[in-house]
Chain A
Amino acid sequence: MTDGQSFLQSPIGATRGWWDDLETEERNTIVGLAVFGGLLLAATAVGILNPTYLLYLLTLAGMFTLMTLGLNVQWGYTGLVNFSVIAFWGIGAYSAAMVTAERSPLGWELHPVWGVVVAVVASALLATLIAVPTLRLRADYLAIATLGFAEIVRMVINNERAYTNGSAGIPGIPSVAEWVESPDLVSFLTIALLVAVVYLVLRRAQLSPWGRVQRTIRADEDLAQALGKNTFRFKLQSFVLGSVIMALAGVAYVHLITPLITPTGLEPIRTFYVWIGIILGGSGSNRGAVVGGLTIVAIRQAPSFIRNQLLNVPAIAPYVSEINVGALRLFLVGVLVILIVRYRSSGLLPPKREHIWSKTLEDRS
């Protein structure tokens, strides 16, 4: 220990002290991310991975991270089950597309700022609409209602052609690509900034009395009520906040990633990717939600990337071309779920100390 003391004087020592303080899960995650990041950089350096593609992947990961952060508020903080994740994403994406796109049936062509405003208001209103009647009932009712809501949103978008263009979708959404020199970098930086802001806001909320009540509700709603907390109000706030963040992810998608939105983007399976993300990351942990968001994108993109690489190898190309990427993706997700359940049922980065406000850990005696 005395050695450690003298080490603390130097920067290396300080780093070492920080490392020693980490929990095993934190170290493993850092090592894992460093290795993965190193591989990506190496692949980019030797030219296997195109830098534009790398930036695209990171931007996509940022978007998924917004969704995992949103779901983490609902499920991780409060324990609310939401199977409408992709529907709220779609509400955000369509709100932005409908009011800003040149070829939107509405033809308003408003500034993207209005897209954000409409997305926030619409998602907040619709979240309230499904939460109010179900939150007072047993927990399962919200789950069922959100499952139905996701389908309703998809059907409405598919059929209300006068507003949404139906299955053809809305193209020509104003994109950063139209305004800047290097759209990939700007898209990435924008989403990184958005993720950072949302992360900080959620962290403040999590470590506040508000977050404390949410965690109490998740652990034991009766106890929260017995202590005088209006749990309905808290659950409603959590549900709306999470849903608005999901809608923001949808807005980010159409302006920063793909200037086209169609109803196929609202496939229910994507909701479950987000769920896998937060379960993998560690329910309740914002950091875990970020790791989960990255992992989802890795899993979704890796099969087609690797397949394309292998197609360049003439010897095995004929066999590789037989591989069905969609099926492989699902297979990988299945394997991942089994591995999590078997070895890491509380996720890669379970909240543990992250939840606990440092003042409640101080020695005050």
Chain B
Amino acid sequence: MNESELDYEGGDLQKEDPLLRVEDLRKTFGGVVAADDATFAVERGSITGLIGPNGAGKSTLFNLISGFYEPDGGAVYLGDEEITGMRPDQIAQKGLIRTFQTPRKLEGMTVRESLLVAPAGQRGESLLPLWTSPSSVTAQEDELLDRAEDLLSFFEIDHLATEPSPELSGGQLKLVELARAMMTDPDVLLLDEPVAGVNPVLEEKLAEHIRRLNEEQGVTVLLIEHDMEFIMDLADPIVVLDQGRVLVEGTPEAVRTDDRVVDAYLGGVAE
């Protein structure tokens, strides 16, 4: 470690209107410090990138933010509300939706059906209304079917609607995952490597889709990606994580030319 690295005080919290704030988040697994007092904020309406070498703790941060891991210290705020310690489903219902690094397939469901799962608080999710007010359940299902159809065409996967979801390619699964996340009408999307293993053509499309979600629907995005070209093109600002700590935060240009970032990546390779 060099001097400048130790000088760095963590991410910039002085945003104009931060929607998601992470303060001094800490998580250890045995001897591994996966999140080491990580601090940063995501500006409302931004596409913020999160990069760092393998094992830097990016996915761990996602798990901490979305409630899948309990932090050993620190806090997470969504808007003005502290969400630390809430259950994943509670956090999701507050409008923060995350995807997983390995795409999840839903055995025995068609793509369309796997989209219908997503919206929260459906009437038919309680047992009694299935018999006491079947028509309101059906009416809501029809609304959701229309919504699913719109999203499937937005992501240009309407031809896959009746396909069983385990039979999709990796890239198609990523699109389905995005569409499913959008079914919940989220405020913040946390995307863990949305283009890993995706061919360049589809990658281009995914970038375009994410940009449109952000611009047209006002979704705030925090995304992890190893593909530098993809993330530098899409995200601004970019937060660089190394060994659980926020190393640098800045514009793509600033990050690209920062010595500490170069060191972190080279160090990661050498190890």
Chain A interfacial positions (CB closer than 8 Å to B): 204-205, 208-210, 212-213, 215-216, 218-220, 222-231, 234, 237, 241, 284, 351-352, 355-357, 359-365
Q: Are B137 and A225 in contact (CB under 8 A)?
A: no
B62-94: contact bitstring with A at CB < 8 Å (1 yes, 0 no)?
A: 000010100000000000000000011110110
Q: Are B106 and A226 in contact (CB under 8 A)?
A: no
Query: Quick check: is B116 within 8 A (CB to CB) of the other chain?
Result: yes
- Shortest Cβ distance from A345 into chain B, in angstroms? 14
Query: Quick check: is B124 within 8 A (CB to CB) of the other chain?
Result: yes
Q: Are A208 and B137 in contact (CB under 8 A)?
A: yes
Docked complex: B30-69 residues within 8 A CB-CB of A:
66, 68
Query: Quick check: is B13 within 8 A (CB to CB) of the other chain?
Result: no
Q: Are B89 and A228 in contact (CB under 8 A)?
A: yes
- Shortest Cβ distance from B166 into chain A, in angstroms? 9
Which B residue sits closest to A362, measured CB to CB? B162
Residues A230 and B141 in contact in the complex (CB < 8 Å), given A219-B108, A360-B116: no
- Shortest Cβ distance from A78 into chain B, in angstroms? 13
Q: Are A225 and B89 in contact (CB under 8 A)?
A: yes
Chain A residues with CB under 8 A of B97 = 226-228
Query: Quick check: is B149 within 8 A (CB to CB) of the other chain?
Result: yes
Chain A residues with CB under 8 A of B127 = 205, 210, 237, 241
Which A residue sits closest to B68, measured CB to CB? A222
- Shortest Cβ distance from A162 into chain B, in angstroms? 37
Q: Are A351 and B108 in contact (CB under 8 A)?
A: yes
Interface size, B (range): 35 or more
B96-129: contact bitstring with A at CB < 8 Å (1 yes, 0 no)?
A: 0111100011111110111011101011111100
Chain B residues with CB under 8 A of A228 = 89-90, 92-93, 97, 120, 184
Of A205, A231, A365, the residue contacting B89 (CB under 8 A) is A231
Looking at chain A's contact residues, is the secondary structure mostly helix, strand, loop, or mixed?
helix
Q: Are A213 and B117 in contact (CB under 8 A)?
A: yes
Query: Quick check: is B158 within 8 A (CB to CB) of the other chain?
Result: yes
Q: Are B87 and A225 in contact (CB under 8 A)?
A: yes
A349 to B56: give the CA distance in the assembly, Å.
Answer: 47
B106, B108, B145 interface centre (most CB from chain A within 10 Å) = B108
A30 to B161: give the CA distance in the assembly, Å.
Answer: 30
Chain A residues with CB under 8 A of B66 = 226
Query: Quick check: is B130 within 8 A (CB to CB) of the other chain?
Result: yes
Query: Quick check: is B29 within 8 A (CB to CB) of the other chain?
Result: no
Q: Are A213 and B125 in contact (CB under 8 A)?
A: yes
Q: Are A227 and B92 in contact (CB under 8 A)?
A: yes
Residues A215 and B108 in contact in the complex (CB < 8 Å), given A208-B124, A228-B89, A359-B145: yes
Q: Are A355 and B109 in contact (CB under 8 A)?
A: yes
A212, A234, A352 interface centre (most CB from chain B within 10 Å) = A212
A314 to B116: give the CA distance in the assembly, Å.
Answer: 66
15 additional A-B pairs beyond A209-B137, A216-B109, A227-B97, beta carbons within 8 Å, are A204-B131, A209-B141, A213-B125, A216-B106, A219-B104, A219-B109, A220-B104, A226-B66, A226-B88, A228-B90, A230-B87, A234-B125, A360-B110, A360-B162, A365-B158
